[in-house]
Structure 1
Amino acid sequence: MEMTTSGQWQKIFWITLGVIFIYCLFVVPHYGITGDEVTQWKYGHWVWDYMKSFGSNKTMEIPKELIGKTYSYNEVFDSPLKYYGGFYDGIAAMLIDIFNPKDEFLVRHYWNMIFGFAGLIFGGLLAKEFAGWRAAFIAVIFMVFTPRFFGEIFNNPKDIPFATGYLAALLCTVKWLKALDTDTLNWKKTIWLGLSIALAISVRVGGILVIAYLGMFYLAEMYRIKGFGTKLFGKSLKHIIVAVVIGWIGSCLFWPYALDNIIGNPIEAVKKMSAYPLAIRSLYDGQLQSIATMIYDDAGKPVSGTFNLPSTYLLNWLGMGMPLFVLITFIGSFFYGYKYTKTNKNSYYLLLIFATIFPVFYIIYKKSVVYDGIRHILFVLPVMSILGALFFDYIIEMFSGKKAVQYAVVGITVILIALPARFMFANHPNEYIYFNELKGGIKGAYGNYETDYYFNSLKEGFNWLKENKLKDFKPTPGHDSILLASNIPDMMNQYVNISGLPIKFIYVRYYQRGESDWDYGIFVSRFLDKEQLQNGYFPGAKPLHIVEADGVPLSTIQANDPERNILKGQEATKANNDTLAMQYFEKAVAYDSKDIEALRNLAITAFQLGDKQKAIDAIGKAYAISSLDISTANYAGMIYLQSGDANKALQVFSKLTEDQPDMAEGWMGLGQAQATLRNYPAAIEDINTALSKDSRFAPQGYMILAGIYQQMGDMQTAQKYANAARQAGGGR
C-alpha cells in the first residue's frame, strides 16, 4: 500500500467521495419520512416565515397541512421546539418556498443528504490532519459502512446536521490549534472556526460543547508551548474571542427564540435540553417500559425528566449497534495515542478521544433522557470511525516491512467491513436498523430492542400498497374513498396527501385495530412487547405484505376483516346482546387466530354468558401469545380467579406485578388470589400495595380487607374496613 503516493491517495479520496455522492443522489427518494420530521417540517416553515418577514410575521400557515392549523409565535415559544436552532429546518423551508415541490419532504431529504455528505468530507479531512490522505480515505470508508450513521444521512433532520456541525467544529479546532502551535494564526482560520461553531450550535444547542473543547485544549496547548505571558497569548486570545463571538451570533441568526435574548435564551435552552421532558415507552432488553420519570410544575406541565433505563443503556447500544471493525479499531485507538506523545499532535488526538467519550459519559452521569438507541449520540459515531481509521492506518504503516502481516490485517478488516456492507445492500433503505454479530444481527435483537424506531419502512409499505391495491381504485356510490389505517399518523398523513389518491386516513392502535372501520392498514412494530413480536401477533396471521430486514418484520400491510367482526361484536356488546357479540368474536378469531383483541373479547363475552371453559380457552390462547400485554394478563387473572382456579390466577397476577410493579389492578388481583388461597398476611400486604398505587381502589380494597379480617376472626378490624369502604364510596 506504500506504493501509492500521497497525491494518489488524495485523488482516490476525492474520487471515492464523488462516487458516494452520485450514489446518494439516486437513492434519496427511497427513504421515508421519519419520526421527528413532520414536527421539524412545521418548525422550519415557522422559522422561514419569521425570518423572511424580519420577525414581523409571527404566525405560519403549513402548506398542504391536512389539519389546517395555524401555529402562532406564542405556541411555538411554549413548546420544546423553541430550544432547537432553526438553521437546518429554516433553510429547508426556504428551498421548499423556492421550488414549490409536490413532495416537500423529498426536498428536505436532499438537503439532509447534502449535510450528511458534508459530514463525510469533514470527517475525512479531519483524519487527513493526523495521518494524511490515506487515512482520510480509510475514514470515509469506515463512516460509510457504519450503518447507523450512513443510513440516517438521508432523513434524520436533527442528528445528522448536528453530527456534521460537530465534525466541522472539530476539524477547524484542530487546524486552528495547529496554527497556534506554529505561530501561523490568521483571521481566515479564525473565521472558519467561528462559522463551524455556529453550524454546530445552530442545529442543536448541545453544540456549545465545541466552545468548551476549544477553550480547554487552547489552554492545554498554551501550557505545552509555554505561551502564557508571550505576544502569542495576547494575539491568540483575540482570535479565540472573535471565533466564539462569530459562533455565538451566527448560531442565533436562524433561531427566533435566541434572537429574543441572544445570551439568556441559548443558555436556558442548554438547561432545558439536558433534562428533556419526554416519557415514551421503549423496548429495551426485552422490556417495554417508560424511559423517564416525569417532573411536573404546579400547572401539571412536564418540566424535566429523569432517565429510568439502566446507566449502561448507551454503552450497550454502542456495543451492539456499531460494526465490529469500528469497535475493534476504536478500542485500538486508545493504545495508538502513544505515537503522538512526543509530538505536537498529542493534544489534538486527545481532543478526538475526549470529543468521543465525554458526551457519552456526561449523559450517563446526568441521567439525561435518551431513547431510540444511539440516535442522540449519533454525532460521536463518525468520530469513533475516524479514530478507528487512524489506528488501522497506523497498523498498516507499522507492518510496512512485513507484507504478509500487512495483507492479513487488511484482509481481515475487509471481511469485517463486508458484514455490515452485506446488511446495508440487502436491506436498503433500512440500513440504520443494523445490529452487529455480537447480538446475532437483527434476528437476535428482534423482540428485545427497537428496530425501525424512526418508521422509515412505512414509505416502502405505502408504496407497495399504492402499486398493488390503491392505484386502480374506482370510486363508487357509497364508497368514494379508501379507508387507510395506521398506528403512525403524522407520517402516514403526509404519504396520503402526497399521493393524491382518494384515501381517507384514520389513526388506530395496532392492538385496537379491530375496533375501527378501515379497508387497509399499514402498521409498524413499535410500541409492541417482546412476546407480541416473537409469537406472531405482529405482523399478524394474514398480512398482504411485510417489509422486512433479514427476515425480521418492520411493517405489515393488512386488509381488514371484510365482515368487521370485532367492531360488530363490540356494537352488540354495547346493545347488551352478548349472544350475538360472541358469534361475531368467534368469527373474528376464525379470521385471525393470533388477534389478541379478538381472543380477549371472546373470553370476556363467554364468561359473561356463563361459558367458563370457552372463556378460559380463549383467554389462555391470548395469554400464550403475550403474557406481557397488560389488559390480557389482568383479564386472564380475573377469569381464572372467578372460575375457581386461584392457583393459576396467583401465577398470572404474580407475573403481572413483576412486569408492571406500579399497576394497582395487578396487586389487587394478586391480593384477591392470595385471600382465596387463605394466604391472608400476603393478601393484606398486596391489597395495601394496590391502595398505595391508586387510591381509587379504596372502596373495593377496603371491602376485600374487611372480608379477610372477618375470615381471620378479627371482627373489630373487619368492621373498621367495612365502614371505611362505605365512606370511600362503596365500590369502584
Structure 2
Amino acid sequence: MTFSPTSDLRVAPSARLGSPSLARLASLAVFAAVAAFIVLTFRDYGISNDEPVQHTYGQLLLAWYASGFTDDRAFHYINLYLYGGLFDLIAAGFEPYVPLPLYEWRHLLAAGFGFVGLIGTWRLATRLGGEGAGVVAVLLLAVTGMYGGAMFTHTKDVPFAAAMVWSLYFITAFAGEMPAVPRWRTMLGLGVAIGCALGLRVGGVFAVLYLAVTLGAAMLLLRDARLFVRLLPRLLVAGLVALAIMAVTWPWSLLPPTNLFKALGAFSHFSFDLKTLINGQLLPIDQLPATYMPEYLLIKLPEVTLFGLLAGLALAAWALVTRLRAPRIRAGLAATGLSPQHLLLALPLALAILVPVAVAVLTDPPLYNGIRHFLFVLPPVTVLASLGLVGAFHALSRQARLAGAAFALAALGLFLFNASVLWRLHPYEYVAYNQLVGGTPGAWGRFEGDYWSSSLREAALALRHGMEREKPPAHPYKVSVCAEDVQALTYLGPRFEAVEDWEDADFILTARHVGCDAAPGLPYATVRRMGLAFASVRDQRLRHMPVEVPDQDDDGPDLSAPDGDAPVVSQNGGPQGAGPQVAKAKP
C-alpha cells in the first residue's frame, strides 16, 4: 500500500482552519509583512563580534579559488576552517556588486536566509497539519526573538537553521511517499538541503541521522526488507548532490575526506577560556550543567509557543486515553489509533527536537551564548507548537464553540504580548526571555544578554551625533571599545581613532555584559530598552585636562587658594545627569 502524501497527519477537512484559499491568502499576507519588516529594518542592526573574521574567511575561500587552488590560507585561518563557508562565500562574492555598506549587505543576506527558513517552516507545518498550521507556525517563529530578531546578525546560526528545516521538510516528504520510490524532486531537494546544511556547519550530519533512522523505521514498520535496495539509486544521487555542495562551499572538509571527522571531533571537545551566565552563575564553558541547553530553550521560547506545546501535549494525552478506553481497540499499534504511515510521518519532527536536546544533555559539550549553537531546533519546536494550537482549537470547537473561541483569544493575547516585547526591544530582539524567568528584565544579569555587543552601533551613533554639535577637535578623539573595534568605528566616522588602553581614551564604549561593566569615566550616553542598559559611552576627557595641584601642608589642601575652588570630579562614575543620557526613543 502506498501512503498518499496528501493525507499526511493533517486534520480532517471539516476541522481545518478556514478554507484553503483563505489560509493561503493569510500565508501570503504574513510573508509580505515579514519581507517588509526585513527591508525596512535591516539597517538597524549592529555588527556582531564574529562578523569581521567570518567575512575574512569568505574572502580567503574566494582567494583559494581565484589562485587555482594554491592559496590555502582559508584552511589555516583561526578555527574558521572547521565551518562551512556557504554564507560567507556568497557575502564576499557579491559584495563588490551590491550598493550597500558591507555589514548592511551581510545583515540583509542573513535575513534572506531567515526568510527562506520561514518558508521551510511553513511548508513543513502545512504538510503535517494543513494551511492553518502553516500560517500559525510562521507567526510563532517570527515572534521568537532567537529567530525573528537573530536572523539579521546570527550569520552562521540562522542560515544553518534554514537549511536544517528544509532538510527536515524533504525527509518528511520522503517518509510520506514511501513505500513507493520517492519522487526525483523530493530526492534532489533533500540533497540540496543537506548539502547546504553541511556547507554551513558540520552539524548537518544531524539531518543525515534523521534520514537514516527514518529509513530504518520504514523498513520495520512497513515490513519491507527490500525497501533500501529499491531506494538506493535515488539516495546515491541525493548524496552526491549534497557532497558536491559541501565540497564547493567547504573544500577543507574533503581535503582529505577525513577532515569531516576532525571537525566533528573538534566541536565535541573544543574548549577555550570563556565564561557564560547560567541562572546567575558565571561558569567556565567546560563546567556547565548538563541542563544548560534545554534550560535556555525553555526560557527563550515565547509564551505563545509554550502554550501551543502544552496544548498539544494535553490533546495527545486526551486522544490516547479516549482511544484506549474504546472497546473496539485491539492490542498493539492499533491502540494508538495511528497507522505505520502516520508514525513514519511524525518521526522526523520528533527526531529533530529530541536528538539535539539529548546530545546536549548526554555529551555535555562546552556551550555559551545560550541556545545560539542549537538555534536549528527552534523551527521544528515551533511546528510542533503550531500543530498543538490548531489541533486543540478544533478539538475544543467541536465540543463547544465558546471554548474554541476562548482558546483562540488566549493564544492571540499571548501572541500580541510577545510581539509587543520584540517591538520594545528592537533591534535587540534576540535577547528576549519569557515570563518563566520574569521576562527580559528578570533574566538580566542572570542569563546571557547582548552577547554580540550589537548595541554598540547605537552607542557609537549617539557619540558621533553628540560630537558633531561640538567644535571639531585638533586631533581625532581616542576611543576604546570593549568589544571588536570595528563594531563601533564603522559608525563613528573620521573624528575618532581606536586605542587599546582605557587610560588613553577620551571615550570608552562598552556593551553591558561580562567584562565590560566597570569602565571608568562620566556617563555620556546609554542605550536602553525596557529600562535596561544595553550599552554605554563613558567620557574621560576631564582625565586628560591639565590640572594645577594646590600646595599642601600637613593639614591637607589649602582650600583658600584660588585653585581650591576647583570641583572634585570622580572618574569612576557620576550622576546620570553629568552627561547627555541618550536612550533611543523607542517604546
Taking structure 2 as the reference length, the TM-score comes to 0.84
Give the counterpart of 1:15 among 22, 29, 32.
29
Instruction: Provide, for residues 637-671 of structure 1, a one-character-per-residue CA deviation record: whole Å limited to 9, x for no partner.
Output: xxxxxxxxxxxxxxxxxxxxxxxxxxxxxxxxxxx
For residue 245 of structure 1, report the CA deviation from its aligned partner. 2.6
1:348 deviates by 2.3
Partner of 2:302: 323
1:568-587 equivalent positions in 2, closer than 5 A:
none
Corresponding residue to 1:546 among 499, 518, 526: 526
- Does residue 312 of structure 2 align to residue 333 of structure 1? yes
1:279 alignment partner in structure 2: 273
Cα 1:206–1:154 shift into 2, 3 Å: same
Answering whether residue 522 of structure 2 is matched by residue 524 of structure 1, we say no
Deviations 1:703-727 (A, max 9, x none): xxxxxxxxxxxxxxxxxxxxxxxxx
Q: 2:496 aligns with which of 479, 491, 503?
A: 503
Q: Give CA deviations for 1:80-135 in whole Å, capped at 9, x if unaligned.
A: 2111011111111001133375x211111111010000000000110001111111
What are the superposed Cα offsets for residues 426-477 of structure 1, whole Å, 9 maximum, x if unpaired? 121011111111211222122222211111111111111122224765242x
After superposition, the Cα gap between the structure-2 partners of 1:3 and 1:524, relative to the gap in structure 1 and judged at 3 Å, is closer
TM superposition score normalised by structure 1: 0.68
Of residues 178, 187, 190, the one that matches 2:187 is: 190
Change in CA separation of 1:349 and 1:82 when aligned onto 2, cut-off 3 Å: same
- Give the structure 1 partner of residue 341 of structure 2: 344
Q: CA deviation at 1:178?
A: 1.3
- Say which of 479, 486, 489 aligns to 1:484: 479
Moved more, 408-417 or 48-57: 48-57
Name the CA distance, whole Å, in 2 between partners of 1:138 and 1:288: 37
What is residue 312 of structure 1 aligned with on the other side? 291
Is this contact kept in 2: 1:493–1:505, CA < 8 A? no
Question: How far has the Cα of 1:251 moved from its partner?
Answer: 1.4
CA distance in 2, matches of 1:162, 1:285: 27
Shift of the alpha carbon at 1:158? 1.2
Q: Deviations over 1:385-444 (max 9, x none)?
A: 110001111112212332111111111111112222111111210111111112112221
Q: Distance in 1 between matches of 2:70 and 2:493?
A: 34
Separation in 1, partners of 2:568, 2:156:
43
Find the counterpart in structure 2 of residue 86 from structure 1. Answer: 85
State the one-letter code of the partner of 2:302. Answer: P
Change (3 A) 1:594 1:283: farther
- Specify whether residues 127 and 427 from structure 1 end up closer, same or farther in structure 2 by C-alpha distance, changes over 3 A only: same
Per the TM alignment, residue 4 of structure 1 is displaced from its structure 2 partner at its CA by 2.6
Aligned to 1:687: none
Q: Is the 8 A contact 1:202 1:251 kept in 2?
A: yes
1:376 and 2:370 are equivalent in the alignment: no
Whether the 8 Å CA contact 1:253–1:259 is kept in 2: the answer is: no
SS in 2 for 1:485: strand
Distance between the aligned counterparts of 1:392 and 1:74, measured in 2? 47
2: distance between equivalents of 1:80 and 1:140?
34
Q: Which amino acid aligns with 1:13?
A: S
413, 422, 437: which is aligned to 2:420?
A: 422
Q: What CA distance in whole angstroms lies between the structure 1 residues aligned with 2:391 and 2:74?
A: 54
Alpha-carbon offset, residue 350 of structure 1: 2.6
1:568 shift after superposition: 10
1:129-168 correspondence to structure 2 within 5 Å: 129-168=127-166
* CA deviation profile, 1:23-50 (whole Å, cap 9, x unmatched): 1111000001112211111111111222
| Counterpart in the other structure of 2:455 | 457
Deviations along 1:461-510, one digit per CA (max 9) or x if unpaired, are 1111122224765242xxx211112111x2x32542465423111234xx
The one-letter code matched in structure 2 to 1:33 is I
CA distance in 2, matches of 1:470, 1:499: 10
Amino acid at match of 2:527: V
Distance of 1:589 and 1:418 partners within structure 2: 50
Q: Distance in 1 between matches of 2:420 and 2:161?
A: 25
- Of all paired residues, the percent bearing the same amino acid is 24
Tell whether the 8 Å contact from 2:309 to 2:384 is kept in structure 1 after alignment: yes
Q: Which residue of 2 aligns with 1:99?
A: 98
Say whether the 8 Å CA contact 1:48–1:90 is kept in structure 2. yes
Give the letter aligned to residue 298 of structure 2. G
Q: Which of 350, 364, 372 is the aligned partner of 1:353? A: 350
Residue 271 of structure 1 and its aligned partner are, at CA, apart by 1.3
Deviations 1:131-183 (A, max 9, x none): 111110000011011112211001111110110011010001111121224x2
- Which residue of 1 is the match for residue 238 of structure 2? 243
Of 324-333 and 438-447, the range deviating more from structure 2: 324-333
Deviations 1:221-270 (A, max 9, x none): 122122213xx542212222322232123212111312422x21112211
**Would the alpha carbon gap of residues 398 and 423 (structure 1) be closer, same or farther in structure 2, given more than 3 Å must change?**
same
| Contact in 2 for aligned 1:561/1:588 (Cα 8 Å) | no
Q: How many residues get paired? A: 526
In structure 2, runs of 5+ residues without a counterpart are: 1-14, 321-335, 549-555, 558-565, 575-587
Note the C-alpha offset of 1:3. 7.4
Could you tell me which amino acid in structure 2 is paired with residue 92 of structure 1? A
CA distance in 1, matches of 2:293, 2:215: 30
The amino acid that maps onto 2:197 is A
* Residue of structure 2 equivalent to 1:29: 43
Find the counterpart in structure 2 of residue 493 from structure 1: 486
Change (3 A) 1:272 1:218: same
Q: Please, what is the CA RMSD of the aligned residues?
A: 2.6
**Alignment CA distance shift 1:139-1:593 (3 Å):** same
Q: Closer, same or farther in 2 for the Cα pair 1:269/1:568, shift >3 Å? A: farther
Q: Which residue identity does 1:524 align to in structure 2?
A: A
CA gap 1:560/1:498 in 2 versus in 1, 3 angstroms = closer
CA distance in 2, matches of 1:333, 1:2: 16
Q: List gaps (5 residues or longer) in structure 1.
A: 59-71, 293-307, 570-578, 581-586, 596-732
Q: Which structure's CA Rg is the greater one?
A: 1
Name the amino acid aligned to 1:131.
G
Structure 1 residues 113-122 or 516-525, which shifts more?
A: 516-525
Q: Which has the higher contact order (CA 8 A, sep 6+)?
A: 2
Aligned partners of 1:166 and 1:210 also within 8 Å: yes
Distance 1:413 1:589, change over 3 A: farther
Residues 458, 593 of structure 1: alpha-carbon distance in 2 compared, 3 angstrom cutoff: closer
Could you report, residue by residue, the CA deviation over 1:20-78 in whole angstroms, capped at 9, with x for unpaired residues? 111111100000111221111111111122234442334xxxxxxxxxxxxx35632xx
* 1:347–1:471 CA distance, 2 compared to 1 (3 A): farther
Structure-2 residue corresponding to 1:362: 359
SS at 2:116 equivalent: helix
CA contact (8 A) 1:85 1:202 kept: yes
Contact residue 461 and residue 492 of structure 2 kept, 8 A: no
- Opposite residue 264 of structure 1, the aligned amino acid is T
Conservation of the 8 A alpha-carbon contact between 1:284 and 1:448 = yes
2:71 to 57, 60, 70: 57
CA 1:235–1:368: 2 relative to 1, 3 Å: same
Q: 1:163 to 1:568 in 2, by over 3 A?
A: farther
User: How far did 1:16 drift?
Assistant: 1.1
Tell me the distance in 1 between the aligned counterparts of 2:87 and 2:367: 22
User: What is the alpha-carbon distance in structure 2 between the residues aligned to residue 201 and residue 422 of structure 1?
Assistant: 36
**Which structure has greater helix proportion?**
1
Question: Out of 54, 59, 83, which is 1:45 matched to?
Answer: 59
